Structure 1
Amino acid sequence: MNLTGKTGLVVGVANQSSLAWAAAKRLRNAGADLAMTYLNDKARPFVEPLARDLGAEIFEPCNVNEEGSLEAVFEKIARQWDRLDFCFHSIAWARKEDLHGRLTDCSAEGFAESMLVSCHSFIRMAHLAEPLMRDGGSLTTLSFFGAERVVDHYNVMGPVKAALESSVRYLAHELGPKSIRVNALSAGAVATRAASGIEHFDELLDETSAKAPLRRTIDADEVGRAALFLASDYASGITGETMHVDAGYHIEGMVFH
């Protein structure tokens, strides 16, 4: 797949184990020019060497909780490239007490914060990307099986990711007339920094290996390859889709205990 001449934004790289990093590598190796972001000064030392390795032309801070931060990234893209072909969104967050506690006990403030960071940030990205995707484009976000079925210990992130997947469908409907495709990748259990916040995550990895049709978990590069596919012209007829990259775990209808 050749993305030479294409420009894209990857948001959500935290370190070398990030799924967004796997996506960034595949997209760059296919020839795309990349813009990459880092959360804050604490995260920068972990992300900057990765961006340098890929020769990212744009490297900017992006904290979607800070007013104007995401907008500044798109302003830089507009000044430097004046166009954008794809975005890869890999941002999710929840308060520790909400992620580890029952949804029943989640505060309104905690729920709103999770929705703002994990879901509405993707909607904002679509809004900002639309005028730069004059010749069409691709928007991809990351989800998880817990959006569809109850996964123990996923808690507040379940309904938040369900809202994200629903947003994908509505954005696809609205942006389709401009040839902008919107999809989600539902990634299987992978040991990342974000996943480490989920209690008993090792048990979920074991459950996946035992019950998924392929009898294994996935690796990050499988998500990266799927991200490349969705950004490429090979996926030109695919939009509004939640594509599962989970060794088939989602078809088993299992509830993790």
Structure 2
Amino acid sequence: MTTTPTVVLVHGAFADAASFAAVTRLLLDDGLTVVVPPVPNRSLAGDAASIASVVRQVDGPVLLVGHSYGGAVITVAGAEENVVGLVYLAGYALEKGESLGELQGRFPDSDLADALVYRPYPVEGQPDGTDVYVDVARFPDIFAAGVEPRLAEVLAVSQRALAGAAFGEPAADAAWRSKPSWGLVASEDRTINPDVERFGYSRAGMTVREVASSHLVMLAHPDAVVDLIREAVRATAG
């Protein structure tokens, strides 16, 4: 069995697996095994269970990498036995029992707060749920500054919504308490207040790096992201 971890890249809200395209290419060029699963973005418990099922199917160690809301997802899914480390990219490092709303509520709102759009979606046998999007016109500046403008426009109209209920759902676990963790702060983030990232990372005792980037750091600064993932791979291999 290989001792080099498989890198599982977990996207967040308002994005999908394609947001990791540049990072994936660089990691594959390194000869690493990479998996980039879709996240349903329906509930924190359900999304974590979905990623945990992917992790359990990997024969060997796993390094989980989560961007944004994906950080909350790996915080819970990272409790799987074969997860050997966690990497947070402009992400939420929740404490057990803490919700996204509670962690964000400790700090001033980002520019995202007044750029959100709410739309209903059907739930079989229940009242409609609420999907949350970023206003398409404001998406490039708030979410994807530094990304090639024509690509940012495509991302804006193809964003994957997050169910509003996920913001208030408590994390069932905090895997960073038992797994080595790394965190990348996007210091020019207008989607998540960078101090939310710094607080969560510091509380978890992570190895922390900062980059002058917007929220979509994987496309704006893929080299910085890959450097941190490589560091985590070296530290957890074998």
TM-score norm. by structure 2 comes to 0.45
Larger RCO (CA under 8 A, 6+ residues apart): 2
TM-score norm. by structure 1 comes to 0.42
Looking at secondary structure, tell me which structure has more helix per residue. 1
* Greater C-alpha Rg: 1
